[in-house]
Amino acid sequence: MVHIAGIPLGDFPLLLAPMEDVSDPPFRALCKQQGADLMFTEFISVEGLIRDAHKSVQKLDIYDEERPIGVQIFGAELESMMKAAQIVEAAQPEILDINYGCPVQKVVCKLAGAGILKDIPKMVALTEAVVKSTRLPVTVKTRLGWDHSSIFIEEVAERLQDVGVQALSIHARTRSQMYKGEADWSWIAKVKNNPRIHIPIFGNGDIDSPPKRWSTETGTK
């Protein structure tokens, strides 16, 4: 049985990945009906949340039939991340998730999403601050690295675990790949099999059939 901070998710949990303009309440309800174990909202800008922007605040709408559910945020400024974490906590999801994986330029140029993969110490510092500012379990979604010359996902996993992250989802591509090529699940296997790692590790990327879902146990495809 896989647990995140005491939340039971089953033996082979299936997570609905946060997708902008896709994973809204109707879509989440459909995925829940089809067996998804854990929902996530669309990712939410912390700057939008702290400024009470309607589009951002509306994404906090969650419903009992969706639970357990996580709210995913993205940002790059420490104070904004901490304030947003408190706003998310008030919405009472089960989990607060931080996006360090979005590769689109309008996010990356602000050093948010996958942009922070260029500054791992900042990623760790932001995560630690969020963990300390909320009572919610904090999880992270990220990528292997910025490009193939800077894949530090094993070190990143250890450092995020050390500052209190309760689970880690890894999209097995680099930012430079965007959504092209094949996801390299061997890196997920390395993280999962690292003897220092005890938090749940979830694989992301190219899961488009049941056999690929079950392969998350071994980190292979």
**Which amino acid appears at position 175 of this protein?**
R
Cα–chain-centroid distance for residue 143?
A: 10
* CA-wise closest residue to 185 among 150, 220, 147, 142: 220
Q: What are the DSSP E strand ranges found in 121-205?
A: 138-143, 167-171, 201-204
Task: Return d(Cα 193, Cα 219) in angstroms, integer.
Answer: 9
Residue 33: count other Cβ atoms within 10 Å of its Cβ.
9
Task: Return d(Cα 25, Cα 51) in angstroms, integer.
Answer: 23
- Hey, CA dihedral for 166, 172, 175, 179, is it positive or negative? negative
Residue 186: count other Cβ atoms within 10 Å of its Cβ.
11
Residue 12: count other Cβ atoms within 10 Å of its Cβ.
11
Kindly list the catalytic residues. Answer: 102
Task: Return d(Cα 71, Cα 85) in angstroms, integer.
Answer: 10
Find the helix packing angle between 153-162 and 120-133, rounded to 10°. Answer: 30
